[in-house]
């Protein structure tokens, strides 16, 4: 605000006169000298002070506002700087996240590829396992069929009942390892064939073969009618000393009798031996086949070999269950022994006894077939 112009009057000094002019008294706003100030003049001074104070306040307010604005600018600048740093860090993090995301996507893609490969491999393995399982069953059934076929042939040709039973048991054991219910029919058929074989009467083929082997081993030692020194007839068995068994009991003839009986027995024995010696001086034998006495040593050798060959053929016929050939060879061997060998010798009598035991053996046993088991196996293979 513009202050109003004031005119000051010259202060009168003592001894000087003050001249007043009408112009000074008539000037507007002028205060005549010696007149009291008006109300307006009284208000001008406080207003000036208020204006000054207001100006000071405005200056202070302006300074404070500028300071606040400056502080605000600094703070905004700091925050913007921090924001820029944060944005830079956020950009770095975002780039890292993008790179990590790309890597994860690559890894996920690789895992998906591996998963697909694993699934395809699993499917291939399952298919392979199914094929192998099927082929394994087929191989097992083929092997069982071959074993049963061989056992059936041996059973019909050689009567090998134990071998056929072992073959059936092995086949049943092989099928028992599989949990397939389709094999129950085959196992049931195998069980029926096993019961048929177990119900057969037993034939001691081994014992018969051993008796034949014993006779074959004795042929070379049997005395013949054409020998220069014929064998003596078999002497009756003399009572021997009592024999005790493992339990300590007496087995055999009773204890010797008193002294008189012993003397009598000794005399009988001595006289019998003497009479036999006398009889050996002159012997008369009746031979139904005179040609048996005319055999040369070479003919005797071939005769023994022929009888042994007959017995070997009988043994082979026994193993092959050919009863006709077995009986024919056995009869031929018995006739040769009875015709050309000395039947009074104990060795000849023992051989003939063994041959009679062999001839009494019954070989006429109809062997069953394993057709049930073979049919069940073949039907299952045809269905599968």
Once rounded to an integer, what is the mean pLDDT over residues 300-316?
91
Is it the case that residue 310 has pLDDT exceeding 50? yes
pLDDT higher at 65 or 2: 65
**pLDDT for 2:** 41
The mean pLDDT value for 141-147 works out to 82
Pick the more confident residue, 233 or 305.
305
Highest mean pLDDT among 17-31, 312-326, 332-346: 332-346
Lowest pLDDT segment from 39-48, 100-109, 148-157: 39-48
CA distance 313 to 118: 69
Extract the tokens encoding 341. Answer: 């060998």
**pLDDT at res. 127:** 74
Counting residues of the chain whose pLDDT is more than 90, the rounded percentage is 7
Please compute the mean of the pLDDT values over residues 164-189 and round it to a whole number.
82
Average pLDDT of the chain is 76
Residue ranges of domains in the chain, CATH in brackets:
133-202+369-383 (1.20.120), 203-234+290-365 (no CATH)
Cα separations (Å) of 7 from 4, 10, 41, 225? Answer: 10, 10, 13, 205
pLDDT at 276: 75
Query: Does residue 256 surpass a pLDDT of 80?
Result: no
As a whole-number percent, the residues of the chain with pLDDT over 70 amount to 71
pLDDT tens digits, one per residue of 43-98: 677 788 888 888 888 888 888 888 888 888 888 888 888 888 888 888 888 888 88
> Is the pTM here over 0.75, yes or no?
no
Torsion sign (Cα): 276, 279, 285, 291: positive
Of 206-220, 283-297, 365-379, the poorest mean pLDDT is in 283-297
C-alpha dist (Å) from residue 110 to 97, 113, 119, 153, 311: 19, 5, 14, 63, 83
Query: What is residue 309's predicted lDDT score, i.e. its pLDDT?
Result: 94
* Residues 6+ away with beta carbon under 8 Å from 191: 172
Is residue 308 exposed (0-12), middle (13-18) or buried (19+ Cβ within 10 Å)?
Answer: middle
Is pLDDT at 21 greater than 70 in this prediction?
no
Structure confidence at residue 195 as a pLDDT band (50, 70, 90): confident
On whether the CB atoms of residues 311 and 215 are closer than 8 A, the answer is yes
200 or 375, greater pLDDT:
375
Please say if the pLDDT value at position 179 is more than 50.
Answer: yes
What is the 3-class SS of the chain, one letter each residue?
Answer: CCCCCCCCCCCCCCCCCCCCCHHHHHCCCCCCCCCCCCHHHHHHHHHHHHHHHHHHHHHHHHHHHHHHHHHHHHHHHHHHHHHHHHHHHHHHHHHHHHHHHHHHHHHHHHHHHHHHHHHHHHHHHHHHHHHHHHHHHHHHHHHHHHHHHHHHHHHHHHCCHHHHHHHHHHHHHHHHCCCCCCHHHHHHHHHHHHHHHHCCCCCCHHHHHHHHHHHHHHHHHCCECCCCCCCCCCCCCCCCCCEECCCCCEECCCCCCCHHHHHHHHHHHHHHHHHHHHHHHCCCCCCCCHHHHHCCHHHHHHHHHHHHHHHHHHHHHHHCCCHHHHHHHHHHHHHHHHHHECCCCHHHHHHHHHHHHHHCCCCCCCCCCCHHHHHHHHHHHHHC
């Amino acid at each position: 605000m513009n202050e109003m112009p004031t005119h000051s009057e010259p202060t009168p000094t003592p001894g000087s006169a003050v001249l007043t002019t009408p112009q000074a008294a008539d000037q507007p706003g002028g205060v005549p000298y010696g007149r009291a100030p008006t109300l307006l003049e009284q208000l001008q001074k406080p207003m000036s002070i208020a204006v000054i104070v207001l100006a000071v306040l405005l200056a202070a307010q302006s300074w404070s506002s500028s300071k606040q604005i400056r502080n605000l600018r600094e703070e905004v600048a700091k925050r913007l700087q921090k924001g820029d740093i944060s944005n830079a860090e956020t950009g770095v993090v975002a780039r890292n996240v993008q790179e990590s995301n790309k890597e994860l996507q690559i890894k996920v893609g690789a895992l998906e590829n591996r998963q697909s490969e694993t699934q395809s491999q699993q499917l291939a393995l399952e298919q392979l396992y199914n094929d192998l399982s099927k082929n394994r069953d087929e191989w097992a059934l083929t092997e069982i069929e071959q074993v049963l076929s061989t056992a059936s042939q041996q059973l019909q040709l050689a009567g090998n009942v134990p071998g056929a039973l072992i073959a059936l048991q092995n086949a049943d054991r092989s099928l028992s390892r599989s949990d397939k219910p389709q094999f129950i029919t085959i196992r049931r058929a195998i069980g029926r064939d096993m019961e048929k074989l177990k119900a057969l009467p037993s034939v001691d083929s081994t014992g018969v073969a051993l008796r034949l082997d014993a006779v074959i081993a004795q042929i070379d030692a049997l005395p013949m009618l054409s020998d220069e020194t014929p064998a003596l007839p078999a002497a009756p068995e003399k009572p021997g000393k009592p024999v005790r068994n493992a339990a300590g009991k007496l087995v055999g003839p009773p204890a010797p009798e008193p002294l008189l009986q012993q003397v009598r027995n000794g005399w009988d024995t001595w006289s019998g031996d003497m009479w036999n010696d006398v009889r050996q001086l002159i012997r008369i034998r009746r031979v139904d086949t005179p040609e048996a006495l005319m055999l040369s040593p070479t003919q005797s050798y071939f005769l023994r070999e022929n009888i042994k060959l007959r017995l070997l053929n009988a043994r082979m016929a026994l193993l092959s269950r050919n009863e006709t050939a077995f009986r024919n060879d056995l009869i031929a061997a018995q006739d040769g022994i009875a015709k050309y060998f000395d039947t009074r010798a104990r060795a000849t009598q023992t051989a003939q006894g063994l041959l009679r035991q062999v001839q009494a053996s019954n070989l006429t046993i109809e062997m069953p077939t394993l057709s049930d088991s073979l049919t069940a196996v073949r039907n299952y293979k045809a269905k599968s």
